[in-house]
Amino acid sequence: MSRWNSCNILHVAPDAKRVWQFDAKGGGFALNRELRVAHAEKLPAKGIAKQWSSLWQPKLNIAWLPAENVFLRVVELPASTFEETLSMVELQLEKFSPLPVTQIVWTMQVIGTHTAPAKGDAAPESLQTVIVVVVERKDVEEFLGRLEKEGFLADRLETPMLDQLAAIAPTDDGAWLFPLSLGGQSAALVAWWFGGVLRNLSFVTLPAAGDRAQELKAQLSHLAWSGELEGWLTAAPKWHLVADPVNATEWENVLRAALNETISVSAPPAPAELAAGTAKRAASAEKSNLLPPEFTAQYHQQFVDRLWLRGLAYTGLAYAVFLVIYFCAVSVLNFHTTGVESQVAAISNDYTNALQLKARFGVLQERQQLKYAALDAWQLVAQQMPLGIALGRFSFANGQSVQLSGQVNADDISKIIDFNDAIRKVKVNGQQIFNPVPDTTDQLTYRTSGNQDSWNFGLQLMRVEAEAE
């Protein structure tokens, strides 16, 4: 039962459709609300139809079959497990069923066990009382078709008569009559208890006209004779009537006239209590069901398909909302973009003129830097060059490359080496002027010719690079 979160019980009564909605609480079901819907109106989908929430909050939908479609049979079988009992009933189903087994759906309900008297030298046998419920398949399919039109997809089909029997708990032997309507005719379910065991279930009807008491007496007499023949009716039964005040008045008078005996009258359980009993019993007896398996599979597939379709619909709706938001955002951005483009167009001429002026300024600035860079390089070379070295050539190219060449006596070759090292380390205002690490083209080279050495090396201005950056 713990797997169920709620339960709906539907009863298609002659006057209206009644729905009891229960919440699973404390190992049972607590009534949440009760609905009464006219036959001309449809059942409310809220609370009955299964939605996404049913995946994590399972809902059990149960419908009560009309009493006129149900056949009940009481049988005694050896006490065993539910599965073995189910197999025993299935093996004898042709004997129990009033219709061919291919045209019925059936279930069973174990209502108790008892010990049978020993026969001869045999040990007493433990027996269980089983109520076999049989319904014609055609009636079930027609009933389910009517429920489908109402939007009620049943998980189980039940009969409240089983819960009526469970509610009375008889303490003595006798016959209990439960008035009900069979196809619009006044009738009653007669339950015979003898030896503390339910022995038989039968229906009796009251004719609309004629000698009603005599007709009822004849029917009850036939049932009593049957019990005597089967051996369980060993004494005159005590008669009990379980009915509401309206039915009790009618049936008590007819019974007294028919039987001329004392009639014990008691109130039946309220319909909501019967519905709660059905919910509890059905939630714990999932292995036996009057609902054909193909309908169970069909309803489950419809539930899955409905979830998929709704999921796709919600996804499409979300996508449509996203598209609306997207196009609104694009429209807003286009509006802003158009405004910016208008501003750009208005200042484009000024911007172009500014770029031209900036480019001209850069050219003039570069020219000034190149002019002073060459003079500064020449001044530093002149200041650092030692005596005895002849400078033959000074060239300045690309705004930062300086090439020096000249001659020196062979004996003074060390002076040019020191000069090369010293000029690379020169700093002005703490800033390095020349790159201290020469590349392959700026290395010092010299060539001896007689008593004179020709030398050559290059320098790279760092000040000009820094300024350009």
Section 428-432 average pLDDT? 78
Section 49-56 average pLDDT? 82
Which residue shows structure tokens 């997207």? Answer: 326
* Confidence category of residue 217, pLDDT binned at 50, 70, 90: very high
Section 234-244 average pLDDT? 91
pLDDT, tens only, 88-145: 999 999 998 999 999 999 999 998 888 877 666 667 789 999 999 999 999 999 999 9
Q: What is the pLDDT of residue 412?
A: 78
User: How much is the mean pLDDT over the chain?
Assistant: 87
Q: What is the pLDDT of residue 14?
A: 85
265 with 248: CB under 8 angstroms? yes
Q: What is the pLDDT of residue 218?
A: 94
What the chain holds in terms of domains, given with CATH numbers, is: 6-291 (no CATH), 369-468 (3.30.980)
* Confidence category of residue 329, pLDDT binned at 50, 70, 90: very high
8 with 20: CB under 8 angstroms? yes
pLDDT, tens only, 137-189: 999 999 999 999 988 999 999 999 999 998 887 878 899 999 998 888 899 99
Section 391-406 average pLDDT? 81
Which has more pLDDT, 287 or 252?
A: 252
Q: What is the pLDDT of residue 377?
A: 78
Phi, psi of 445 (to 5 degrees): -130, 145
The model carries a pTM of 0.68
Among positive and negative, which fits the CA dihedral 24, 30, 33, 35?
A: positive
Which has more pLDDT, 60 or 46?
A: 60
DSSP secondary structure of 208-235: SSS-HHHHHHHHHHHHHHHHHHHT---S
pLDDT, tens only, 253-269: 999 999 888 999 999 99
